[in-house]
Amino acid sequence: MSMLKRRGLMYVLSSPSGAGKTTITRALLKNNQDLTASISATTRQRRAGEVHGQDYFFVDTNKFREMVDNREMLEHAKVFDNYYGTPKGPVEEALSNGKDVIFDIDWQGTQQLFELAAEDLVRVFILPPSRMALEKRLRDRSKDTLETEEQIRGRMSKAADEMSHYTEYDYVIINEDIDKAITQAQLILDSERLKRRRLAGLSEFVRGLKDGL
């Protein structure tokens, strides 16, 4: 058994704003000690309560572009006039140590990850149960984020485009009940961890078993 070592996986959750991916992500992180969050770099302004290096790496546009030019990003995209990207180093270190990394990114970033590391990637898209439910969640959240009516309408319009990419994902969860959605996300994670290709040293282990028979 000592020769067996599981390589970590990249677990992507994507959804339109308000569909619940952040809540699901937090629940999975709480319930899985061997799961770590990918911390994105961003050029957007820090919100109240956010911590640099914990919620995001907050950088200016020049620094972000420098990281992209130096190929220090696994993926990057421009969303609502701000840049977001995933620094490569921490993710590669976690995977090689057998830890899984969860990503809260959009379809553009997911496409880039798929091009670079399809074998390590598990893609899950979160859908709202209805348009009305999505709008209600966005309006409820706007009370805390202080978003304007124009910004809310912009997110609703953006959601239509984002949801059209659900076919590019391995799994789809319809988040009508958050507890059920969290359970489904956990089941996907558990099953993907057991896939044969993620277990390094398996061929040698099986040969050893056969030699002893």
Write out pLDDT tens, residues 56-112.
Answer: 999 999 999 999 999 999 999 887 789 999 999 889 999 999 999 999 888 988 999
The residue ranking higher by pLDDT, 3 or 9, is: 9
Rounded to an integer, the average pLDDT of 17-37 is 92
Q: How much is the pLDDT for 145?
A: 59
> What is d(CA 142, CA 125) in angstroms, rounded to the nearest whole number?
23
Residue 201 lies in a domain: no
Question: What global pTM score does this model have?
Answer: 0.82
Residue type, 79: V
Which domain, by its residues, includes 36?
A: 5-195
Cβ atoms within 10 Å of 31's Cβ, excluding its own: 12
Contacts of residue 153, Cβ cutoff 8 Å, sequence gap at least 6: none
Q: How much is the pLDDT for 143?
A: 59
Token reading at 190: 């558990």
Residue 104 lies in a domain: yes
The DSSP 8-state label assigned to residue 100 in this structure reads: E
Q: CATH no. for residue 16?
A: 3.40.50.300
pLDDT digits (tens, 9 = 90+) for 108-134: 889 999 999 999 999 999 998 888 887
Q: How much is the pLDDT for 8?
A: 96
Residue 108 lies in a domain: yes
> E strands of 43-162, at which residues?
57-58, 73-79, 82-87, 100-104, 121-127
Residue 211 lies in a domain: no
Kindly state the percentage of the chain with pLDDT values over 90.
57
Token reading at 111: 């496409």
Domain count, the chain: 1
Contacts of residue 127, Cβ cutoff 8 Å, sequence gap at least 6: 15, 19, 163, 166, 172, 173, 174, 175
Rounded to an integer, the average pLDDT of 147-175 is 84
Q: Taking 90 as the threshold, does the pLDDT of residue 166 lie above it? A: yes
Residue 49 lies in a domain: yes
Residue 207 lies in a domain: no
103 three-class SS: strand
> What is d(CA 103, CA 26) in angstroms, rounded to the nearest whole number?
11
Q: How much is the pLDDT for 204?
A: 86
Cβ atoms within 10 Å of 16's Cβ, excluding its own: 24
Residue 50 lies in a domain: yes
The residue ranking higher by pLDDT, 13 or 55, is: 13
Q: What mean pLDDT value characterizes the chain?
A: 89
Q: How much is the pLDDT for 131?
A: 81
Residue 204 backbone zone (phi > 0: left; psi -120 to 50: alpha; other: beta):
alpha
Residue 109 lies in a domain: yes
